[in-house]
Structure 1
């Protein structure tokens, strides 16, 4: 389902969020992913959403979420540059897991016309492209929520080795329930629960983003090494820490 912009913003003061994060971090020090999810939903009833790229490992978090509450909103960013396989995988996984509230957000039409009318901004400024096609849409998508859940893991890249289970993201709480899981645990969960695979995984794509900026990761590389290859860029910007 496509969603129009909303005006409501998370209203918690950053200081209040900081105290809540500190309390939750202490409670969840040795918690398992399903326990973290349960805590997250209980702490923010009706005011929390999950964000998913429907990439190669997304099924694990979404399967866990469906076990706890399949009605939790799942926010998906359709950048306009995604592989068709990713869009098909989204639909297949939603059906398989019985998720009932998956919301698709796209770049703002006016901003896209002003900044990337020819759809080639990625070739000259990947940061600006990600800001237009991911950061701004996610800001709109998260507006009604005071907390969100994502599927990042510490093993995925050098920039992610210190991910906590819960952290402050401006005026919101952000939960990272899979942070401590390794590749073997992700694979075991996928296999044990017979979860559908992203169709491009069998061709060597370990992390899949937008088509122009995604390549295969080579043996021995970080899982995300195929993203923005040849650039110093390693994150799209949606997980860059905010202070307010």
Structure 2
């Protein structure tokens, strides 16, 4: 099947989870670049963004998108506690790939002043720290978009092993184009296109988040084992609930962590 075989009717899955499953099955036979092109140019033209951490293997998806539309909105959550190497890598990839619409999204200053004035909330309440530095800023930045692209992959952790290609978030679609890629495929793509690597990967960081909550990964561990080590937390919250609706509005005001 080619992208030409996908009709406009396949975009009708926007608000219908059952239709989503049927359409995803039709589209799943496309290779990843074709699926991205279909999503960016046809299904969600002008209403789709890529959310990138500019992390360990972010260059793969960014490179694919740059071949389609260098001006596609790329949303980058600058939490204020990222590794300097991540910020440098972001700048390097922007130049290397000629990305023309990378939008850095910081947390709201008044929220930080009220809830995390000493930048130590990660220690006492990591869920709330992620909420005010990542989840709420992204929810606000995604307003007006019908779909967003993530770089999640099934091999990264046990919590992602059943990751689908498409997910319905109320009336918004989340696309995981690399869901079924293996670690070997990712590495092969990076080498094949001679893409720059994040400096911390060679130092034992296959998954890179904020400084206080990221540690080196030991041989044999899941790639994300170094995130929030020693805590029950395994996800930042971006993918544990829809980034829309009344629940999220309430979370913006709540003192309790997002669930």
Instruction: Give the TM-score, by structure 1 length.
Output: 0.91
State how many pairs are aligned: 232
Q: Post-superposition shift, 1:70?
A: 1.4
Contact 2:108 2:137 in 1 (8 A): yes
- Structure 2, unmatched stretches of 5+, are 1-11, 246-259
**Rounded Cα–Cα distance in structure 2 between residues aligned with 1:15 and 1:194:** 36
Distance 1:214 1:48, change over 3 A: same
Structure 1 ranges of 4+ moved more than 4 A: none
Contact 2:15 2:172 in 1 (8 A): no
Q: Post-superposition shift, 1:21?
A: 2.5
Deviates more, 1:83-92 or 1:63-72: 63-72
**Rounded Cα–Cα distance in structure 2 between residues aligned with 1:20 and 1:114:** 43
Contact 2:55 2:86 in 1 (8 A): yes
Deviates more, 1:163-172 or 1:130-139: 163-172
Contact 1:24 1:166 in 2 (8 A): no
Contact 1:55 1:86 in 2 (8 A): yes
**Rounded Cα–Cα distance in structure 1 between residues aligned with 2:135 and 2:106:** 11
1:93-112 map, 5 Å:
93-112=93-112
Please give the root-mean-square deviation of Cα atoms over the aligned residues, in Å.
Answer: 1.7
Aligned residue in 2 for 1:9: none
**Rounded Cα–Cα distance in structure 2 between residues aligned with 1:116 and 1:17:** 39
**Rounded Cα–Cα distance in structure 2 between residues aligned with 1:14 and 1:170:** 11
1:5-84 map, 5 Å:
16-18=15-17, 21-41=20-40, 42-84=42-84
Q: Post-superposition shift, 1:19?
A: 5.7
Deviates more, 1:29-38 or 1:226-235: 29-38
**Rounded Cα–Cα distance in structure 2 between residues aligned with 1:76 and 1:19:** 31
Aligned residue in 2 for 1:134: 134
Aligned residue in 1 for 2:3: none
**Rounded Cα–Cα distance in structure 2 between residues aligned with 1:204 and 1:131:** 27
Which structure carries more relative contact order (alpha carbon 8 Å, separation 6+)?
1
